[in-house]
Chains A and B, each alone.
Chain A
Amino acid sequence: EVQLEESGGGLVQPGRSLRLSCAASGFSFEDFAMHWVRQAPGKGLEYVSGISWNGGDTDYADPAQGRFTISRDNAKSSLYIEINDLRLEDTALYYCVKDTGPTVGTYYGYFDFWGRGTLVTVSS
């Protein structure tokens, strides 16, 4: 059974940094691209970032460019994202998401499993 368990969220002051983690199990983590998708309270889904199976390619949505860094450790079956200079608008539930293929930036990429999310609240 595929399991994705996010952690690292919490209440953070604006301007601080945060690192979210996702522990994956139940599949060959090293064979698949992975992504982060966020959802602000009461709002829709927003793509954040993705990373290819070996970490060689990354993809960032425009709002994430420059402040977000995605990474993975295949030996630990773990996905990460570091968010710097946190802003009020970064407040959201951050989902760890599994791709159906190994690469990012394709016209056919989509997601077959989602974690339950970790909540990041940015507030002073």
Chain B
Amino acid sequence: SSELTQPPSLSVSPGQTARITCSGDAMPKSYVYWYQQKPGQAPVLVMYKDVKRPSGIPERFSGSTSGRTVTLTISGVQAEDEADYYCQSAVFTGSYRVVFGGGTKLTVL
């Protein structure tokens, strides 16, 4: 089982807001990063250090934190946002170890 917990799936209509959560004991001590993976493609970084958006990622993607939960928000969801989303962080077990959440499949209705 993953040390980072994500909802397995989320469905939203185009134009609505999608909020994907990631929770675990690693937060808030470690940053959380988000990757988008479309079918047949490699993952792409869409959020880093909880709330920072890499260049080239649309402004509709944003991040927020509250206690041990980090949220990736996609405002005004578009069909092209349909993908699997994975959070990633680091847990301390003598040294920091990379962990991924189980992934959330976002379906745009």
Spell out A's residues near B (CB within 8 Å): 35, 37, 44-47, 50, 59, 61, 95, 100, 105-112, 114-117
Contact = CB atoms under 8 A, between A and B. Distances in A.
A50 B43 contact: no
20 contacts: A37-B100, A44-B100, A44-B101, A44-B102, A45-B35, A45-B43, A45-B88, A47-B99, A59-B95, A59-B97, A100-B48, A107-B30, A107-B31, A108-B49, A108-B90, A109-B96, A109-B98, A110-B31, A112-B54, A116-B42
A45 B6 CA distance: 13
Interface residues on B, range: 20 to 34
A105 B49 contact: no
Contact of B103 (A37, A44, A109): A44
Interface in B66-109: 84, 86, 88, 90, 92, 95-103
Interface string B29-46: 111010101000011110
Contacts, number: 66
Interface of B: 2, 29-31, 33, 35, 37, 42-45, 48-49, 54, 84, 86, 88, 90, 92, 95-103
Contacts of A45: 35, 37, 43, 86, 88, 100, 103
A37 B86 CA distance: 13
A69 B48 CA distance: 28
B90 A107 contact: yes
